[in-house]
Amino acid sequence: MRLSTKGQYGVLAMYELAKRYGEGPVSIKEIAESQTFSDAYLEQLFASLKKAGLIRSLRGAHGGYQLSREPSQISIRQIIDALEGPIEFSACVGGPEGYICKKSDACVTRELWKEIQESINAIIDNRSLADLVEQGRRKQQ
């Protein structure tokens, strides 16, 4: 029960892009180095992020990636959804009614899982890359 590396790496990579927002394109290599993970793997994550419209790319020498809008306009939710698909704490909540709990009396756990999912969403909906950048600055001082 945990976020995969896609989500974890992805948010960190986007944070690095946010820190450099407005400074032109940044190469995958630079991002991968600043967080020490594989650039070939990161490339795949960026493909998903681009498809979701969160980043833009420039090919060729001096090319790279950059956020497609201001850090404050990109939420953690959007990043995770792009990389992992929407978080579903239980198949019950996202899937069809009665998917797992067939004979149970109108599934007593369904609402519980739903409540958890909503509490997660409430947090990641209201947290933007700008918040992370600001937090990073505070930490460095």
Partner DNA sequence: TTATTTTCTAGTATTCCACTTGGAATAATT
Partner DNA sequence: AATTATTCCAAGTGGAATACTAGAAAATAA
90 binds a copy of itself (CB under 8 A): yes
Q: Pick the piece of the chain touching DNA (CB under 7 A) from 33-41, 101-109, 119-127, 133-141.
A: 33-41
108 binds DNA (CB under 7 A): no
With CB under 7 A as the contact rule, the residue among 33, 35, 38, 135 that binds DNA is 38
Report the distance separating Cα 46 and Cα 57, nearest Å. Answer: 9
- Residue 122 CB contacts under 8 Å (≥ 6 apart), including other chains: none
With CB under 7 A as the contact rule, the residue among 35, 44, 126, 135 that binds DNA is 44
4 binds a copy of itself (CB under 8 A): yes
Report the distance separating Cα 103 and Cα 93, nearest Å. Answer: 17
53 binds DNA (CB under 7 A): no
| Amino acid at site 75 | S
Neighbours of 56 (CB within 10 A): 13
Q: Which is nearer to a copy of itself, 62 or 103 (CB)?
A: 103
| Amino acid at site 127 | R
